[in-house]
Structure 1
Amino acid sequence: MFYNWPVRSRPGYFKGFSMTNDQGDRISNLAKTTLHDGWSRLVDYSFDYRFSDGRVVKRSWEVSERPAASSVLVFDRSAGKFVLVRQFRVPVYAMGEGDGFFVEAAAGLIDEGETPEEAAIREAREETGYHVEELLPLRSIISAPGLMTEKVHCYAAIVDETMRVGSGGGLDEEHEDIELVFLSFDEAMAMVENGALSDAKTVVMLQWAALNRHVFGL
C-alpha cells in the first residue's frame, strides 16, 4: 500500500538537463575475477576503456558486489517525531568516527524473494517496533558508486502509537543491538546541520522531509 500524497514540485529545477549516450560502446573486453566471496563479494573488473578523444587504456577496478537494500524514514504522528535507530557500525568505528555508534533510518538488505516494499515494512517492524501499513516511495540511491553495487530503495511511513507492535531493537539471531532515537523535525535538522547525523541515505530522506513538511503535518 502507498500513500497518495501530493508532493511539492520545484518547477524548472532540472529544466534542460538530459542524459545522452551518443559515445558508443566505451567499455570492451570486460573480465571479472572474484577476490573474496563472503557477506559481500569483492570482484576485480578489468576492461578496456575508450576516452572521448578515442584513446583506449586498460583499467582495473575493485567492486564490492552487494544486494539491494531498503530504508524507511518512520514518523510517529502521535509524538510528532521521527523514529531513527542508533547502532554500532564497525566501518564507522574503523574510521575513527567517535565510538562507532551511528544514527540512521531503519534499513536492511532485501531478502531473496522479497520486494523492496516488503523489506522496508519488515525492517521497520524489526528495528523500530512499528507495523507500517503504507509506504510513500521517495527515491532510490546508489550508496557508493565508486565502490559498491548497492542500491537503497528509500521510503517514508507515517505511524502512530496504535501501530507499535513491539519494542524494536533488531533481531537477537542477527546479534543486533539497536536503540531507538526519537527526534523532532528541528532536532533532526540540527543533527544534519552539525554533522551528528551523517548517514547518507538518512540525510537524503530528511532533506526530502524538509522540502515536503506538509506530508508529515509539520
Structure 2
Amino acid sequence: MTAGLDTPDRRGRTGLDRQGRDLTGNPRVRIVDVKVLSCDWYVLRRTTFDYRHSDGHWSREQRETHDRGDGATILLYDPDRRTVLLTRQFRLPAYVNGHPDGMLIETTAGLLDGDSPEEAIRREAAEETGHTVGAAEHVFDVYMSPGSVTERLHFFAAPYTPATATSSGGGIAAEGEDIATVELPFTEALAMIRAGEIADAKTIMLLQWAALDGPFGS
C-alpha cells in the first residue's frame, strides 16, 4: 500500500499515478506509464511516453513533471495616484539560485486550492495585502515553466484605494508567511524592472501589461 496511490497521502489524495494516463488530444503522443516519485505536498511524476517526430519515426521519451496545482496572481493599481501595490517576501528557490537575499518583490499570488481563479485571488489579496478586491479584470492565463511544471497561472488586475484596506494583511502566519506590502509609483516599478530589482516573471508581465494595454497605457 502506497500513500498517494492506493491510500491517502498527507493531503488525502489517492490515485496520483493516474494523472495523464488517459490523454488522447495529441495523436503523436502515446502515454506508456506514469510513476509518482514524490507526493509530500506537491507531486513529482515521471511519465514515459512514445512520441512520433515530424519525420514520422517514433521514440520513447521520459519527462518529469512537478505538479503544484494551478494558481492566480493580481496587480493592484490606483489609477488616480498612479501607484501599484506589490508584496515582498522570502523565496528560498531564488535564494539558493543566486538571488542576493531571496527577498522578491511580487504581485499578490497563490494556489487555487479548489476555488475558482477569481475567488482564489480575492482570498490571496485579502490575506497578503489586507485589501478587499472589487471587480477583477481577467488579463490572460499562462503556463509559467512548461518544460517541467504543470502550473497554469491566471492573471488578474484590479483597482485599489486606501479605502479598500480592510485588514493588515501580511499573509497567514500559521503557514509561515511573512509578507510585507510595497506601494510604488508605477514609473518607479517599471524602472525597477530595468534595474533588475524586480525579477519575478509574473510581476514583470503584469506591470508591462499595465503599461501597454492596462490602466497606465498611453
Q: Shorter chain as normaliser: what TM range?
A: 0.7 to 0.9
Under a length normalisation based on structure 1, what TM-score does the superposition of the two structures give? 0.84
* Contact 2:210-2:217 within 8 A present in 1 as well: no
In structure 2, the CA distance between the partners of 1:91 and 1:38, relative to structure 1 (3 Å rule), is same
Moved more, 152-161 or 75-84: 75-84
1:26-175 alignment, distance < 5 Å: 26-77=28-79, 79-112=81-114, 114-175=115-176
Give the equivalent residue in structure 2 for 1:197: 198
5+ residue gaps, structure 2, are 1-25
Alpha-carbon RMSD across the aligned residues, in angstroms, is 1.5
Q: Which amino acid aligns with 2:72?
A: S
TM-superposed CA distance for 1:77, in Å, is 4.2
By relative contact order (CA 8 Å, sep 6+), the higher-ranking structure is 1
Alpha-carbon contact 2:31-2:47 (below 8 Å) kept: no
Contact 1:87 1:102 in 2 (8 A): yes
- Report deviation, 1:76: 3.0
CA contact (8 A) 1:169 1:179 kept: yes
Instruction: Give, in whole Å, the separation in 1 of the partners of 2:99 and 2:164.
Output: 35
Q: CA deviation at 1:217?
A: 8.4
How far the C-alpha of 1:203 sits from its partner, in A, is 0.9
Deviation per CA, 1:60-116, whole angstroms, max 9, x where unpaired? Answer: 00110121101010113464310000000010111021111111100000122x110
Normalising by structure 2, we get a TM-score of 0.84
Question: Cα 1:159–1:216, aligned 2, differ >3 Å: closer, same or farther?
Answer: farther
Contact 1:126–1:171 (8 Å) recurs in 2 = yes
How many residues of Structure 1 are paired with residues of Structure 2 in the alignment? 193
